[in-house]
Amino acid sequence: MALENVIDELLSQAKATAESKIMNARNGAIAEIERAKNEAESIRRQYESKLKAEADRLHGEAKREAEIETRLNRQKMVKRVLDLAYAELFRFVSDRHFYAQYLQLFIDTASAEFGHGIIHMSPLDSGTAAVPETFRALYDLPESGGIIAESADRTVVLDLTVDTLLRDFWHANLPLVHSLLFG
């Protein structure tokens, strides 16, 4: 019986050791699984953060591209409007009869304002409109047309050249252009 007791005791100790090792292995496996879960969650958060940053970057880039496209479209629209306005103004200048009427109106306005003085005109406009005898006509302007009238003492100048009218037209409409382009 002593041998049986020794065998039972050894079996009991072996069983306790095996159960302890199994328990330690199970606890180690649970801890390793928990560590792996935590690491996987950390990796997931990192990739999620990177994906969000990339999505934000792409969204910002798309928004900037859309804003640029909108500005380009507005710019094209403004250019078309200004091209039409310039075409109309040049039509005015190229329609010699219509232009001659306005040139005469400009000269008559200067005559009414100053009484006498100097009218500067383009050589191309010689004979297009009648210059009053109280004014001296000088044909010294560029070919674009219009007149510059000066009072006799040259203290008052009326600039009605096509170049000035175009520049004034541009400056008068610049706020509209700006608002169309930049809102």
CATH number for 107: 3.30.2320.30
pLDDT of the residue at 68: 87
Do 69 and 123 sit in the same domain of this protein? no
pLDDT of the residue at 55: 85
Residue whose C-alpha is closest to residue 135's, from 144, 122, 147: 147
Do 67 and 102 sit in the same domain of this protein? no
87 in any annotated domain: no
| Mean pLDDT in order along the chain per 10 residues (183 residues) | 74 79 80 82 85 87 87 77 70 74 87 90 86 92 83 87 80 75 66
Do 102 and 175 sit in the same domain of this protein? yes
How many C-alpha atoms does 171 have within 13 Å on its Cβ side?
Answer: 6
**What is the C-alpha radius of gyration for the chain, rounded to an integer number of angstroms?**
46
pLDDT of the residue at 75: 77
The C-alpha atoms of residue 95 and residue 82 are separated, in whole angstroms, by 20
Do 68 and 101 sit in the same domain of this protein? no
pLDDT of the residue at 1: 61
Do 100 and 172 sit in the same domain of this protein? yes
The C-alpha atoms of residue 148 and residue 156 are separated, in whole angstroms, by 10
The partner residues of 157 in beta bridges, in order of sequence, read: 150
The partner residues of 149 in beta bridges, in order of sequence, read: 119, 158
In the chain, the largest separation of any two C-alpha atoms, in whole Å, equals: 156
Do 116 and 43 sit in the same domain of this protein? no
Do 99 and 178 sit in the same domain of this protein? yes
pLDDT of the residue at 80: 77
pLDDT of the residue at 150: 92
The residue behind tokens 């010699």 is 96
**Structural domain containing residue 118:** 95-182
Query: Residue 56 is encoded by which pair of tokens?
Result: 């934000």
171 in any annotated domain: yes
Question: For the chain, what is the domain count?
Answer: 2
Do 47 and 115 sit in the same domain of this protein? no
The C-alpha atoms of residue 21 and residue 28 are separated, in whole angstroms, by 10
pLDDT of the residue at 135: 92
23 in any annotated domain: yes
The C-alpha atoms of residue 137 and residue 51 are separated, in whole angstroms, by 77
Do 41 and 110 sit in the same domain of this protein? no
